Structure 1
Amino acid sequence: MTTALPLPECRDSTLDIEDGVATLHLCRDDVRNILTGTALIDDIIATCNWASEDERVGALVITGDGRAFSAGGNIKNMAEKTGMFGGEPAEIRNAYRRGIQEMSRAVYRVEVPVVAAVNGAAIGAGLDLACMCDIRLGSTRAKVAESFVTLGIVPGDGGAWFLPRVIGPQRAAEMTYSGRIVEAAEAHEFGLFMELCEPETLAGRAQSLAASFARQPPRALRLAKQLLRLSGHTPLDDFLDHCASLQALAHHGSEHDAAVAAAVAALSSKTR
């Protein structure tokens, strides 16, 4: 029996789960889903932690309602030096570490596949949020920018770690140094978006893709994601040893036995 947990209470988002796919809608269109100065960071952290713990969840979709996926940081707060942008340097450092960087860790550590359905503008920390996900689908109306330097700051949420891993160091450097707005077609061309969808089809495509993941044997799916995450920073010999250990666990799992039995039965029916 799978472990079912109560859905976390979200203040600026809505969360639902259907057929193993959890969907988080960022619902602050009034401020273009900015992450700072709203409850969205807390909502995202709570949802990510829940998705890893609730065994019903096979995949998570994150998207925005309205005009934007997320416009990133609250520029008004920056100008006024309030909220997480106020105080002495040590206070601001701690605000980043205990705030938006906790979101970065939470999204990256989700045990199930995470799909970003980028419905509109993804700017600054909004783009970085998308890059923290495993897969990004973009609306043809989407626009992205790693825009921190244009405001005289740096990607304090860890964007300079995530972006090169998505599009490569050279392209990430160009986007970071220029801060320019990149249209959807170009972002798709250099691999930031796996696919582009018309605005009216984006949500459905994200759901169908996530559902195809959620239909897989759940423990094997989570172990496979763990290996993908480890592959980027683990020496090959250590990585292979870890693969062997996880594979031994998988071979002794009941879901492996059921999947192999189904595959054998399907093969037998084709050869009759």
Structure 2
Amino acid sequence: MTPFLEVERRGRIAILRMDRPDALNAIGTIEDCDNIVDTLFELGNDRSVHAAILTGKGRAFCSGGNIKGIKERRGIGPLDQPDSTRANYRRGVQRTTRAFLDSEIPIIAAINGHAIGLGLDLACLCDIRIASETAKMAASFIKVGIVPGDGGAWTLSKIVGYSKAAELFLTGDTFDAAYARQIGLVGEVTPADGLLDAALAMAERIAANPVRALRLTKRLLRESQHSRADDVLELSAAYQALVHETKDHVEAVTAILEKRAPTYTGD
């Protein structure tokens, strides 16, 4: 079987396409989760990657988990006993969640179609979200009688606030891209045929900056979501001490003083 993620490189940008279009890019197996984890790890070790875009092939972004697999107790959901199911979630979708949270690469979700359940939570694990005007979204775990087992209760509430996240999870209602922008879930809505171009334009603006500072800035943003101000200040000082010693910092300052465009090397 082909890997769940197809990876395309465009210079400093990696485009990650979920490649199960016949299944609306549902995540069905532990191997799918492993592929996501391994891909993020490999890209994280490549300093030439300044930014990434996550999107789906076909007409869906990601329709969530595989419902047939859930019914048949195989794949990423329930197994034969509760303790096995708990281990399966930790080994599969939760390991995927941790990989996104640990990644220091700026990631843009280009939501090209349905983002449902786990699919919506994958988008929420990205740093920036852009949606096609035809996209449909739902935090719809409740509609199949389960809870968000992938950590989405934490992630979505960080983006839209507790009350709105509660509304989305407890109703399971489907909503469109315009509503997603209204509640701050996505930052931009584009025509379907302009989505990838918009995501690439955003990624290029990000990728134009020094890669070490980019990654440490993202880590600061992540840590700031659950840390005290004093802890963030200490971490900021430590990270600042690191980037002050990079060649790209020296180049940035020199370019400003010389009134020219900087040339960054990643050093």
TM norm. shorter chain > 0.5: yes
TM-superposed CA distance for 1:93, in Å, is: 0.5
Distance 1:83 1:193 in 2: 30
TM-superposed CA distance for 1:83, in Å, is: 2.8
Q: What does 1:39-58 align with in structure 2 at a 5 Å threshold?
A: 39-58=31-50
Query: CA RMSD for the aligned pairs?
Result: 1.5
Distance 1:161 1:115 in 2: 19
Distance 1:42 1:53 in 2: 17
Structure 1 residue runs of 4 or more that deviate by more than 4 Å after TM superposition: none
Distance 1:138 1:25 in 2: 15
Alignment correspondent of 2:13? 21
Task: Kindly indicate whether the alpha-carbon contact (under 8 Å) linking 2:30 and 2:75 is maintained by their aligned counterparts in 1.
Answer: no
Name which of 131, 139, 142 aligns with 1:146: 139
TM-superposed CA distance for 1:38, in Å, is: 7.6
Q: What does 1:200-211 align with in structure 2 at a 5 Å threshold?
A: 200-211=193-204
Name which of 73, 93, 105 aligns with 2:98: 105
Deviations 1:35-94 (A, max 9, x none): 124843222212211121111100011100111000001111122223332210000100
Distance 1:198 1:221 in 2: 29
TM-superposed CA distance for 1:229, in Å, is: 0.9
Number of residues of Structure 1 aligned to a counterpart in Structure 2: 259
Name which of 143, 163, 166 aligns with 2:156: 163
Percent identity, aligned pairs only, is 42
Alignment correspondent of 1:75? 67
One-letter code aligned to 2:124 = C
- What is the TM-score of this pair, normalised by structure 2? 0.93
One-letter code aligned to 1:172 = A
Alignment correspondent of 1:228? 221
For the residue of structure 1 that corresponds to 2:259, the secondary structure is helix
For the residue of structure 2 that corresponds to 1:62, the secondary structure is strand
Distance 1:103 1:233 in 2: 20
Alignment correspondent of 2:264? none
Q: What does 1:124-203 align with in structure 2 at a 5 Å threshold?
A: 124-203=117-196
Alignment correspondent of 2:24? 32
Range 47-56 or range 11-20, more displaced = 11-20
Structure 1 unaligned segments of length 5 or more: list them: 1-8, 268-272
Range 244-253 or range 137-146, more displaced = 244-253
Closer, same or farther in 2 for the Cα pair 1:247/1:10, shift >3 Å?
A: farther
Task: Kindly indicate whether the alpha-carbon contact (under 8 Å) linking 1:116 and 1:133 is maintained by their aligned counterparts in 2.
Answer: yes
- What is the TM-score of this pair, normalised by structure 1? 0.92
Range 183-192 or range 243-252, more displaced = 243-252
For the residue of structure 2 that corresponds to 1:83, the secondary structure is coil
The reply on whether 1:62 has 2:54 as its aligned counterpart is yes
Task: Kindly indicate whether the alpha-carbon contact (under 8 Å) linking 2:16 and 2:55 is maintained by their aligned counterparts in 1.
Answer: yes
Distance 1:238 1:101 in 2: 26
Distance 1:133 1:258 in 2: 29
